[in-house]
Amino acid sequence: MMLLAEAVAPASELLAESEFPGLSAAFAVEIFILAMLAATAFAMIRMRQLFGVAMLSGIYSLLSAAFFVALDAVDVAFTEAAVGAGVSTVLVLSGIALTAKRELPVDRERTFLPLAIVLVVGAALVYATIDMPAFGDPNAPANVYVGAQYIERTPEDIEVPNIVTAVLASYRGFDTLGETVVVFTAGLACLLLLGAGSIRGGGRHDDEEH
């Protein structure tokens, strides 16, 4: 994570000296990282080699972690770097070791059902947001009850610039520890399942068989 912070800082200094005086350096860095995220996602969609997709997925997670660092959400950046770029990449590569290296062509007729499910679920999620309070509403439940206490007491109790980091790492530290244990247990279970398949033998498939 220190490498991410060191990578973001020089970029901020370079953009601060650019020929865009009305654009803050932090905002320019965020826009640059978002553009890299979009380019990486597009490359993942276009690629058919599973190893390349796994590597791009790790790069996407690292860029997301860098974006969270730029937003001063270091705790979320730690989680994204450890789970997204670390554990998830290892699990995907372990799965690729038991299967072919290239994605098989998919019949276009078989893509309509997953697309329909995605559209229905997406529409349901968008419909659910209608009942949500307006962004920044001071009367929202999150801002009326304990949220107001977090905002008032974080500068004195925790002394960190990001309130989300203070809540997750201090006020709800045991809850975050429990979530970490759950993620670790899930990753360990996946490794055991993949390892069991390789121990029993016959789990690997070569491209020539397809």
Q: Considering its fold, how many domains does the chain have in total?
A: 1
Most confident among 15-29, 46-60, 89-103, 148-162 (mean pLDDT): 46-60
Which pLDDT band holds residue 103 (cuts at 50, 70, 90)? low
For residue 43, is it within any domain?
A: yes
Distances in Å between the Cα of 200 and the Cα atoms of 4, 98, 196, 203 are 40, 12, 6, 8
* Claim: this prediction has a pTM higher than 0.75: no
Question: Does the residue 154 lie in any domain?
Answer: no
In which residue are the tokens 């770097």 written? 81
Q: Give how far Cα 128 sits from Cα of 115, 124, 143, Å.
A: 20, 6, 20
User: Which of 28-42, 61-75, 173-187, 191-205 has the lowest average pLDDT?
Assistant: 191-205
**Domain annotation covers residue 129:** no
Helix (H) or strand (E) run with residue 52 in it:
helix 50-70
Q: Is residue 146 part of a domain?
A: no
124 domain-assigned: no
Lowest pLDDT segment from 3-7, 92-96, 108-112, 132-136: 3-7
- Whether residue 122 has pLDDT greater than 50: yes
Average of pLDDT values for 131-135? 80
Query: 149, 171 in Cβ contact below 8 A?
Result: no
Residue 44: domain span: 2-108+189-209
Please report the pLDDT score of residue 92 as a whole number: 82
pLDDT in tens, 44-95: 888 888 888 888 988 999 999 999 888 877 777 888 888 888 888 888 887 7
19 assigned to some structural domain = yes
What sections of 85-160 are H helices per DSSP?
88-96, 112-128, 141-144, 146-157
pLDDT of residue 135: 72
Given this model, what pLDDT does residue 201 score?
A: 45
What pLDDT, on a 0 to 100 scale, did the predictor assign at position 88? 82
pLDDT of residue 169: 77
What's the pLDDT score for residue 120?
95
Buried b (16+ CB within 10 A) or exposed e, 21-55: eeeebeebbbebbeebbeebeeebeebeebeebbb
Query: Which pLDDT does position 180 carry in this prediction?
Result: 79
Residue 63 lies in a domain: yes
The reply to whether 67 falls in a domain is yes
**Cα 151 to Cα 34, 126, 156, 165, distances in angstroms:** 28, 29, 10, 12
